Structure formats: structure tokens, C-alpha cells
Amino acid sequence: MRFIVDAHLDLSMNALEWNRDLRLPVEQIRQREAGLTDKPDRGKGTVSLPALRNGNIGVVVATQIARYVETGSKLPGWNSPQQAWAQTQGQLAWYRAMEDAGEMRMLRNLPDLENHLVEWNLQLEDKPAPIGCILSLEGADSLVTLDYLDVAYNNGLRAIGPAHYGPGRYANGTDATGKMKENGLALLRKMEDLNIILDATHLCDDAFWQAMDHFNGPVWASHNNCRALVDHNRQFSDDMIRVLIQKGAVIGAALDAWMMVPNWQRGISTPERMNCTLETIVDHIDHICQIAGNSKHVGIGTDLDGAFGKEQCPADMETIADLQKLPSLLRKRGYTEQDIEGIMSGNWLSFLRKTWGK
């Protein structure tokens, strides 16, 4: 099986807000949720730590996420930045609990990464290695002030997406408009100083272009698809993809069905009726490769179980372990074994070695 890096999973959100014990197999988590209706994806999850191991997914970028919302907002979130910060600290506590249990291992630097890869390759069936975890903050709202970034960095934070959905405290995100705020530009400067990766995912167009102009540190896009194939501001235009390529970024292919196929209607469309399969995500991967002229700027960033489950992911996926179907699909498109190795893990690993090797 190919070794896989998944650059975007909301593991702690699922553990705390969905109350999922991710140490269990996916099927057991589904059984526990039988009959629950509080969330649309109950009983339809695809991700667990055993499923990651079954799919040889040994490194993940795992999020902390907590949005601040102003009075009257229709988005879910917390009523103060302090509450949002507290939520992310609860999520951090869960990651640490998983470390203590031997289930996960936080990767903070290049030696951590290289040592983890060696152990992963040598692991025994009766003693599985922990899942390597790189901590990322999806939306910066929970940073009460920039001083909190020092605390977060010391706790292991290594990537930040300044915005999520809607207007944010530091930047505007999906479905919003407007440039970075002054504190957002200050955030970018401090991220540069700490060598924190800028995740361009979710930045609205204005904020994206301003961030590209102002940020000189490492940039990636953990989970983003192509606007040329699905026309929505959540996706990257070809010009956006080009500037990311120029900056040496890697773009993670996301497996949320509404981002994969056009005309998706939430709660109505199904992957089967929309013919949304893993073959569909290869279309997005290929589009980025054609713009780049090579396969070095695309990877996997599934976003699986990011508040959706089987009802809104490729029809031919039962669990995240089915990412192992991708190499044969890429091979059919004419991708070489070296290309496939890069897309499944090598491009992310090269990016991290360059970023953390400074």
C-alpha cells in the first residue's frame, strides 16, 4: 500500500463536538450513532484512527477550529474570542490525550517527522505506530490577541488558515468579501517570524490576493479544489493556482462532494445520483497538474468527516482507507509511479522538509 499524507482532518472536532471515540473502528462509531438525528452525518462517518492505519495514512494535518460570531450571524460559533480559545484548548487536550494513549504523535519539527517516518515503516502488527499529527488552526478567530500565537506555537501549532466561513476577526473567508484586516496583516508578519505555514484555504478572493502580496513565508492550501470545474468562491481560480505554484505551495484535493461536482444541492443531491466518485477528484488533481506542468504541487487533503459523512463524499468510499484506490485511477490517467508517490505523500513531505529544514 502507498504511504499517504492527509493534509486536513478535523479529528478533535469530531471527538469533542460529535462525541466520537476515534480509537474505535468506523463501523463501531456508526453503530453507536444509530438513531441519532442531531447532525445530518450521524452514523455515516468515514474516519477513525484504525481506519487511518488500515489505509496506511501515517501523517495527518489535524485541526483546531473554533469560530467567533457576532450577534445576528447565521453561522455556528462562539460568542467571544475567549470562548473560542477555550474550545481550541479543549481540542489540544484531546490530541495530548491521544498522545498519552499511544494513538497519535505530534510532529513539531523535521527530526520529529523523520523519526516518525522511520518508525511507521518499521511498525509491527501487534504494536502499531501512532498517527503522526501536524497541528493546524482553521480560522484564527480564537487567537484573542497576537500574544496567544506564541502560546499556540509552543503547544505545537505549525499552520494557520486565517479565515474559515464568513467574516473573521483577522480575515474574510468563504462567502464573505474584503481584504485582510490590520491585525490580519500583523498575524501574517508574526507567522513569518515563527515560520508558521500559511494555509490559503478558505480565504476570500480579496484576502487571498492580499495575503499572497504580503506573506513571504511557507504557503500551502490544505484542502481546496478548482473553480474551473466547480464554480464557487470556495474554490481556487486558475490564476490563484498559478500564484500558489509560483510560491512553491502544495494544494490538497478535498473530498467534499459539493466541491467536487457542480450543481450539488445540500440535503438533496447524493453522490450516486451526481456520479461523484474518486475518479471525480482525479479531474481536480489533473487540472492542477496541467496548470503546473508537473505533479509536484498537488496532494491529498480530504476534509473527510468535516461536518459531513458518506452522504456527501465520493460514492466509492466506505472509509478513509479507500484512498488506496487513488493510485490505480491516477495510473490510468497516465501518471507515473513517481508522480503517484508525490501526490499521495511525497509532495507534502518535500514541502515540510524544505520548510522545517531552514
Q: 182-194 and 147-154 helices cross at what angle (nearest 10)?
A: 30
Q: Percent of the chain beyond pLDDT 70? A: 99
Name the domain count of the chain: 1
Residue in 249, 268, 248 with CA at minimum distance from that of residue 257: 268
What does the pLDDT read at residue 45?
98
Which residue segment(s) compose the domain that 345 sits in?
Answer: 4-356
Task: Please say if the pLDDT value at position 126 is more than 80.
Answer: no
Residue 357 CB coordination number (10 Å): 9
Q: What is the per-residue pLDDT across 161-191, written as a single tens digit (0 to 9) for each?
A: 999 999 999 999 999 999 998 999 999 999 9
- CATH code (residue 256): 3.20.20.140
User: Mean pLDDT over residues 25-30, rounded?
Assistant: 98
Asked if residues 298 and 285 have their Cβ atoms less than 8 Å apart, the reply is yes
Q: What is the per-residue pLDDT across 198-236, written as a single tens digit (0 to 9) for each?
A: 999 999 999 999 999 999 999 999 999 999 999 999 999
What does the pLDDT read at residue 123?
78
C-alpha–C-alpha distance, residues 53 and 4, integer Å: 10
Q: Which residue has the cell 502488527?
A: 125
Nearest-5° angle of CA 311, CA 130, CA 341? 70
Q: Mean pLDDT of all residues in the chain?
A: 97
Going by pLDDT thresholds of 50, 70 and 90, the confidence category of residue 127 is confident
User: Helix (H, G, I), strand (E, B), or coil: what is residue 299?
Assistant: strand
Query: Which runs of E-coded beta strand occur in 233-305?
Result: 251-253, 298-300
